[in-house]
């Protein structure tokens, strides 16, 4: 009876690996009680680590401040605006104008502001160093969106926060198309210029930044990066580091897999995830492993790397070698890091589509509790 070797993906370390392996082993034994399953925990022996104790990271030991600073909140707001220039306007629209009563036959504050924004002359002197054409195009995009009209409809007679939110939205639209992102001082200078042109700040900058919009931005973006850089690095570097390490010195990870294969008797099935699948493909392509009867890649990028010419073991114009074992590739269309094997490799790879019902990136780690994944694997076990 074959031995199943489980090869994990990028960024996995203890205690997470033991938890993951128990889950995989339990699922397999529920369906094939007699199969032996062993771990290949390459993250410990061959994965990325901070060999100098974080010496390259500014303030590594102290960058764990729990309290947000003012610039943290500004960064949080701009982080959201870079993704959605209308985010602040949408939030102001949801907040509403409250119970303010206006005299009859008086122009609504939002209509007054809309008229001022549209009539403002956008010149190169006003927008420098940005192109006036780019800023005018951004104004057209903002004023043509339903979020803009909703925010103006909800505006109170104190128009300062809405003026500044519109100015920031226009600037966010402008800078996103710049070949080089401007520094914060240049960006904020344009915000101030537009806000003044739209009728003045009326303490708008501080009012809006001290409003719930600012706090909400911080909670959503959680952008206390500078003060938390050490802890963020600890959490993030194994995943990104493993990918970079594999591209530079992937032989260490491949050697760990090869050592595990050679340590077991009889036929072998490799069940691999993500980067573990890339390393397994490279290993099996580059050197025959007669004991391996089945390769299972789950959420793998190996086919994509092959197609773009970046797979270490195989150029894009070469086919799989004859000694390559049977290959089952499991993918989820919701997982943006999973790819089709049959497309680039033809009938040498059998693809099975599953659906975790999870959004990305959760979908990339949701395979092991999905019964359809195990249906596909068990069906192919020798």
Average pLDDT (185-190) is 89
pLDDT at residue 184 above 70? yes
Q: For residue 129, how far is the Cα from the chain centroid? A: 32
Homologous superfamily of the 3-51+233-380 domain (CATH):
Alpha/Beta hydrolase fold, catalytic domain (3.40.50.1820)
What per-residue confidence (pLDDT) applies to 207? 43
CB 367 within 8 A of CB 354: yes
pLDDT at residue 58 above 80? no
What per-residue confidence (pLDDT) applies to 208? 40
What per-residue confidence (pLDDT) applies to 157? 64
CB 257 within 8 A of CB 101: no
DSSP 291: T
What per-residue confidence (pLDDT) applies to 66? 44
Sequence-distant (≥ 6) Cβ neighbours of residue 75 within 8 angstroms: 221, 223, 225
In this structure, what are the phi and psi dihedrals at residue 3, rounded to the nearest 5 degrees? -95, 130
SS3 for 40? Answer: strand
pLDDT at residue 20 above 50? yes
350-361 residue pLDDT tens: 999 999 988 888
Confidence band for 223, pLDDT divided at 50, 70 and 90: very low
CB 337 within 8 A of CB 362: no
How many Å apart are CA 369 and CA 87, to the nearest integer?
36
Per domain, the residue ranges of the chain are 3-51+233-380, 70-221
What per-residue confidence (pLDDT) applies to 159? 77
Nearest Cα to Cα of residue 120 among 189, 173, 198: 198
Average pLDDT, the chain: 84
248-300 residue pLDDT tens: 999 999 999 999 999 998 899 999 999 999 999 999 999 999 999 999 999 99
- Torsion angle, alpha carbons of 324, 330, 335, 336, to 10: 30
How many Å apart are CA 327 and CA 308, to the nearest integer?
20
Q: Which ranges of the chain would DSSP assign to H, the alpha helix?
A: 16-31, 42-46, 70-83, 87-95, 109-119, 124-127, 132-143, 146-153, 160-176, 184-197, 204-209, 212-221, 229-249, 251-262, 275-286, 302-307, 342-345, 371-380
The two tokens of residue 49 are 């680590």
Distances in whole angstroms, Cα of residue 102 to Cα of each of 115, 147, 201, 266, 293: 19, 23, 22, 84, 78
Confidence band for 35, pLDDT divided at 50, 70 and 90: very high
SS3 for 60? Answer: coil
pLDDT at residue 247 above 50? yes
How many Å apart are CA 303 and CA 57, to the nearest integer?
34
């Amino acid at each position: 009876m074959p031995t199943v070797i489980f090869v994990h993906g990028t960024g996995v370390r203890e205690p997470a690996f033991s938890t993951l392996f128990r889950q995989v082993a339990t699922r397999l034994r529920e369906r094939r009680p007699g199969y032996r399953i062993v771990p290949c925990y390459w993250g410990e022996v061959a994965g990325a680590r901070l060999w100098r104790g974080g010496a390259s990271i500014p303030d590594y030991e102290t960058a764990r401040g729990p309290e947000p600073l003012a610039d943290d909140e500004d960064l949080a707001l701009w982080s959201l605006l870079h993704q959605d220039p209308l985010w602040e306007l949408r939030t102001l629209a949801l907040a509403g104008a409250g119970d303010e009563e206006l005299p009859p036959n008086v122009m609504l504050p939002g209509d007054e502001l809309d008229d001022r924004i549209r009539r403002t002359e956008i010149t190169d002197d006003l927008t420098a160093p940005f192109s006036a054409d780019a800023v005018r195009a951004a104004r057209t995009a903002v004023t043509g969106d339903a979020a803009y009209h909703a925010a103006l409809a909800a505006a109170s007679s104190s128009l300062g926060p809405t003026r500044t939110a519109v100015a920031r939205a226009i600037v966010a639209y402008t800078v996103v198309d710049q070949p080089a992102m401007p520094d914060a001082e240049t960006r904020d200078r344009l915000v101030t210029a537009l806000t003044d042109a739209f009728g003045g700040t009326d303490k708008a900058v501080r009012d809006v930044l001290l409003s719930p919009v600012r706090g909400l931005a911080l909670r959503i973006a959680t952008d206390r990066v500078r003060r938390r850089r050490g802890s963020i690095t600890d959490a993030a570097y194994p995943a990104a580091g493993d990918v970079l390490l594999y591209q530079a010195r992937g032989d260490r990870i491949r050697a760990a897999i090869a050592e595990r294969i050679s340590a077991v008797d009889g036929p072998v099935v490799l069940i691999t995830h993500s980067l573990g699948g890339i390393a397994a493909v490279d290993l099996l392509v580059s050197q025959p492993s007669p004991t391996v009867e089945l390769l299972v890649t789950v959420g793998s990028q190996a086919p994509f790397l092959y197609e773009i010419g970046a797979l270490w073991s195989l150029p894009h114009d070469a086919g799989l070698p004859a000694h390559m074992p049977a290959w089952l590739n499991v993918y989820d269309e919701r997982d943006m890091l999973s790819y089709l094997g049959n497309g680039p490799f033809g009938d040498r790879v059998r693809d099975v589509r599953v659906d975790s019902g999870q959004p990305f990136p959760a979908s990339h780690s949701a395979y092991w509790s999905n019964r359809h994944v195990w249906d596909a694997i068990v069906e192919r076990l020798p």
